[in-house]
Every structure is written in C-alpha cells, then in structure tokens.
Amino acid sequence: MPWLLALWVLATATAAPPPHDASATNGYPWRPFESVRRPPVPASEIAGFVPRGPIDRFLSEGWQAHGLAPRPEASREVLLRRLFVDLVGLNPTPAEQAAFMSDTGADAYERWVDRLLDDPRHAERWARHWMDVWRYSDWAGWADGNQIRDSQPHIWRWRDWIVDSLAADKPYDRMVVEMLAADEAMPGDAAALRATGFLARNYKMLSREQWLEDTLKHTSQAFMGVTLGCAKCHDHPVDGIAQREYYAMRAVFEPHQVRLDRVPGQLDTAKDGLARVYDATNAPTWLFVRGDERHPLTNEVVRPGVPGLLGGKLEVAEVRLPSDASRPDRREFVLRDLRAQGERAIAEARDGLAKAEQATNATPSRILEARSAIDAAEKRYAATLGVLSAEDALEGAAPANPAATNAVLLQRLVDVSEARLRRLRAENVLAIAKTNEAAAARKEFDASTKHLADTITVLAKPLDAAFLPRLAPTYPGTSTGRRLALARWMTRAEHPLTARVAANQVWLRHFGAGIVPTPSDFGRNGRPPSHGALLDWLAAEFMEPTIPDGHGESAKPWSFRHLHRLIVTSTAYRMASTPDDRDLAADPDNRFLWRANSRRMEAEAVRDNILFASGSLDPSRGGPEIDHRQAMTSRRRSLYLRNAAEKQPEFLQIFDGPAVTECYLRRPSVMPQQALALANSEMVSREADVLARRLAAEAAGNDGRFVELAFARVLGRRPTDAERAESVAYLGARPAGAESNARMAGNFVKVLFNHNDFVVVR
C-alpha cells in the first residue's frame, strides 16, 4: 500500500494543470483568470437611442451586432417604483410618487438616485443581497439551544456590520480584509471584529473537516468565483488548479478557531457576545489522499499558498496582538462591568433587607438572614476587587506578593460569609418545614452547619498566594498572519477575479441576471458572459474610478454606491420591460438586454412591502435576530428574522427565501402556495384591514379617492381608467353599514396585495 500511495503522489505532483481556454463573447476575448484591463468604450451609435455613459455604449454594440432595437424609456411611475424597490426594497409612498411626477428638472431622476443611495434603508436592502452571497446563517442547535450545531450565537452582529459597512459606503476591498482577517488587521477594533462572522458562520460542532471544507469552498466562490472545492480530491478537472494548491489554501485557514468575547454591559456570553475568529495554533496541514481525511500524507507539511493560476503570491508575516486580544477579560469595560455587577448585588441585598423589615410577617431570623446576605454581597465585591488588584500586581511579578495574599484572605472571608448565610437560610427553612419536608430540611441544616465549621477552620490557617483566579480565557499573543496575507492578495489590483465577481453580483440584482450567469463560477464549468468587455470595464471602474460621482467629485475606489449609480442612471436600466415581437423572436431570453427584465420581488421585499403599505413597518435597525416563528406578527424588516437550518420563516420560504447552505443565485418559482399565502395569511388579512381603515379616513367617503390611494400605496402606480371604474363599482355595491364598508374595503386592498403588479417589478 505505501508504494501505491507514493506512485499516486508522484503522479499528481507532476501532472500539469490543464490550461484555461479563453472564450470569445460578443467579439471580446474573455480571459477571467488574467488581470483586469479596462477595455476601450465602443463608439457605436443607434438611431433614436441616447447613451448616457459607457454601459449604454457597450450594450449598444451588442444590439447592433445582433440586429436588436432597444426599447424606449419606461413610464415615470414604473421607473420610480423599479428604482425604489431596487435601491431600498420598498415602494415609493404616494407623496414621493407625486413629488417625482411633478419634478420636471433635467436632473430630477439623478437627484432621486442620490437620495435613495443615501437613504439608510438602502444599506438594509443590499445587506440582504450580500448576506445571500456570504451565506449568512444564524446559529442552529438542539436541546433547547444548549448545544450549538452550526454557526454561532450572536452572529447577528456580523449582519449589523454588513448593514453599517454599506451605509458608510466602506470600500469593498476593506470589507474583504475585515471579513477574512479583522482580528489580524485591526485586533483592537470590536466594530471591525464583527466582520469575521463570515468565518465564524462556518462553524460545525460535529465536523472540523466539514467546517474547513465549507470555508475554502465558499471563500473562493463568494469572493473569486472559483470552484476551489473541486480540487480537494484531485486536480481541478477544468480550471488549472492543482490538488496541492487546494491544501495550500487550506493551510491559510487551518489554525483558525471561533470564540465568544464579552461585550460592554453583559458579562454572560450566553446572553450576548461577539462571535469572532482567531488563530489558536499553528496547526500543520497535510494533503489527503483522494481527499479522504483518514489518509493524510504526514511526511510533508503543506505550506500556505494560493493558486498559481490567479497570479501573485502569499506574503505572510506573523502578527503580534495587543494584550486586549490575548486577554480579553482584562479589558477596561469588562473590569468595569465586574465592579458594577458587585455593586448591583449589594444594592439588591440592601433592597432585600428593606423589604424584610417592612414585611407584615417579619421575624428576627428573616431580618438576620437579609443582613447576612448584605454581608456576603459586600465580601464578594471586596474579593473581586482584591483579585483584580492581584492580577495587576502579578503582571510580570512573582506569585508571592501582598496583593495575592490579600486576595486569598478576602476569598476566605467570602467563603465564611456565604457559609453563614447558607446556614441561616437552612435554619429558617427548618423552622417552618412541614412534616414531609422536615427530613430534607434537617439534612441541609446539618450539612450547612458542618460547612460553616470547615470554612472557619480554613480561615484560621496560614495564608499563601494561591488565590482562586477568575475563569478568564487567554489566547495566543500572536496570529499567523495567513488570513491577512490572503485578504491582501485577494484585493490587490492585479487579482483577476475579485472585482469582476463583485461587479457581476451588483449587476445581477439590478437586471435579474448576471453578465456571467453563474455568479459563483467564472471558470470553464460556468457559463460565459453575455458582455465580457462591459464586465471588465465595470470591474476596472470599480477599482479605479474615472467617472465622477453624482456631486461632480471623484468617486471612491471600490465603492458600491459608485457601481449602483453607474448602473441605475444608464439608459439601459431605464428601458421599458414591454417586449417587441421581432426582437423577442431574435433574443427570447433577453440575453443582450434590449429591454428591462420583469422580476418577481424577493421574499423579503414581498413581506416588507405588505407591512410598509399599511404603515406598520417598524424602521428600527439592528439587534438580535427575531424568532422565525414571529414572521407573521413582527413588524420588523425581514432582514432581521432568524434564518438558520430548520429555523426559517415559512412565509419567506414560500416565496423562495434564501437557502442557508448556499444562495449565490435565487431561482424564483411560481407555486399555488404563493397565491394562497397572499390571499389567506394572517399578516396579509390584518395589514389589508389596517390599510383600508387608514385610506378610508383619508378619502373621507370618496370611493374614487380611496381607489387612487390604494393603488398608489400597494402597487406604486395610478389605476387605469378601466381599473378605476371597476374598483369604484365594486365599492359602490357594498351593503349599507359600517361593518360591511370595512369588510369590503379590506377585501379590496387584499385583492391589490394579490395583484401581479404588487409582486412583480416591471
């Protein structure tokens, strides 16, 4: 067997990775594994089409080549709703619709774009998109949550980091560094450390091997569009990545582990904490024969590295960490919270004495017990301060010193005080014990009496320096620097894929399809791009902007807002979605984007817009995840509902909500359950009635006005003449009586929630 393994290793080590053949798309040589080069912008012109920038010129080149005619601009109300749903995930209000329709300025549309990009809701809308790409998952477990199976508790802090980063338009290259290595790049920045939830999310209690496999697979697919996981068992079959290079990438992540740090105001990490990663040990990485972890080749340690196909090299340097990172419970806020905890305990004990003294059934023994509780709390507090003082004194000093000796004495006094309190409580219980409880009460009284005597005996013994230390975790004072090196390699300007993949993800969510239709696979197993030159230009512009932002100033490198603005202000984005028979026959899938794509709103947008239309949506931002079972009653945005394995909101799943394991691309379905959910769900019925009451009060008995307001709130548009006439006729036929009026008005609003134009963005 050993000689077979040796032959196999020799064969795989000497086999040359297959070359990657470039694909020509739309006349452009597509070379995704070569560094991005900004292609020249075409000078093509199409009669009647006014290009507003490079995006339009790249697309028009394809229209000319395939004999396609671009559609005219969409109507203003259709365009406004498209823009609102795309950028903030919510319909424009009737007031916003009226303001836009009356704004005749030449730059009216651009000003509304800038307004929405600055809107705090934009960050929440796009956070959910990136949570798909980065596989956000709340923790999953069993046994009443006492055993964590996947992800980590309090991972919601990573979700809030995503929202905060997008709200600040944090450069994407910085976001990548923080997600992969904030603990190495900025170890003292708690706000940045939240980002490493990207890695902590991969935690698997039952399999470290699966944990690391998921980390490699999804780091490479999410950021680089490379199916690195295909090289675990053998050389990649098509993309020129050797099996050894897979394990070199694994070596980057081999040392990392997850931990829960305390956060200000909460000492109990079960209740709140910061889920983050750190390098625990410099663990070795071995190549597994055929990817089988049972057969590691332990004769050689695989060094950290990156696929040669993507150029560059890993420049690793060990990172020395500040003491706060290696000894987090010595941070000032933790010490402050410990002191505050002791002070609260004393205050609560004193409140207990006051209540005991004021009680109608107060007895001397109960009052004595309450006084003893104060004494115990005070001594615990004094001992805590003594231990903290000893820790300070022991920094680099010998164990035997006055502070340590004092801490021992204080801890012994605590033992005596708590033993005395235990005996008093046992004595009081015994005094009122019923016959069937007397034996147990006597047993506890005798045990507490002996315990008190024993602790008094210990108190009299000579003191030494062996005080009981806090149960405070300690971690290595250095980190390997491997993940930081990877992040820097990945975000260098010469990396061929990082900017391309990010730009493609943004494009996908604005147009309904990516320029590369397989957003997590830019290799030969994926589908070629429809407009390779355009994607290269977007990637180059993303990294090094040449077009000013909306205020005439230089755009920031790696700015998502710059990408959004380029896309949504293009003429191509503003086109109508209505088809043309000739072009439809020539390009039925709209591959060359001669019209806008009609798209079903994502599950979260469907739910959020139901609540928003009725005025019930709670705009509060951030915080712990909301129980998924409250999806029908909570008013918060769907972004904040728990999403984990076996813990997903049913309403969102009916509308093709995000998969927990992998969600690079959502695939909308059409199912009867969707119509049933909109027609019969508790939430839709409730919010329809709420909205109907609001509109009835505003319309003041005018059915025509009620219909106008309802269409504006729910569908984001005015009714057609036929719709208005039918709607007014329906409402006018209702029986007399307030109850009938309310019921029919609510039913009318519910019909609009079931309208195709509510769930579809045109």
Give CA–CA dist 575/570, Å, rounded: 9
Nearest to 611 by CA among 635, 628, 640: 635
Among residues of the chain, what percentage have pLDDT more than 90? 83
Give the residue carrying structure tokens 């928003």. 612
pLDDT tens digit sequence for 124-140? 999 999 999 999 999 98
pLDDT tens digit sequence for 55-103? 999 999 999 989 999 999 999 999 999 999 999 999 999 999 999 999 9
Give the residue carrying structure tokens 């339009």. 56
Give CA–CA dist 231/237, Å, rounded: 8
CB 57 within 8 A of CB 570: no
Residue 19 in this model has a pLDDT that exceeds 70? no
Q: Tell me the mean pLDDT in the region 381-402.
A: 80
Q: Given this model, what pLDDT does residue 27 score?
A: 76
Helices 482-490 and 172-185 pack at an angle, to 10 degrees, of: 170
Angle at 173 between CA 171 and CA 176, to 5 degrees: 115
CA distances from 91 to 87, 595, 631, 689, 703 (A): 10, 22, 20, 19, 23
For 483, the token pair is 């993940």
Give CA–CA dist 233/210, Å, rounded: 14
H-run or E-run covering 29: strand 28-30
CB 691 within 8 A of CB 614: yes
pLDDT tens digit sequence for 162-212? 999 999 999 999 999 999 999 999 999 999 999 999 999 999 999 999 999
CA-based torsion, 128, 131, 135, 138: positive or negative: negative
Q: What is the pTM of this model?
A: 0.93
Query: Greater confidence, 208 or 403?
Result: 208
Nearest to 39 by CA among 544, 538, 533: 533
CB 32 within 8 A of CB 500: yes
Q: What is the mean pLDDT of the chain?
A: 92
pLDDT tens digit sequence for 222-262? 999 999 999 999 999 999 999 999 999 999 999 999 999 99
Q: Given this model, what pLDDT does residue 145 score?
A: 59
The CA R_g of the chain, rounded to the nearest whole Å, is: 32
Contacts of 534 (CB under 8 A, 6+ apart): 54, 55, 58, 59, 515
End-to-end C-alpha distance for the chain, whole angstroms: 64
Task: Domain ranges for the chain, please list them.
Answer: 21-73+523-585, 151-327+475-488, 330-459, 680-761
The confidence band for 737, taking pLDDT boundaries of 50, 70 and 90, is low
The separation between CA 208 and the C-alpha centre of its own chain, rounded to angstroms, equals 22
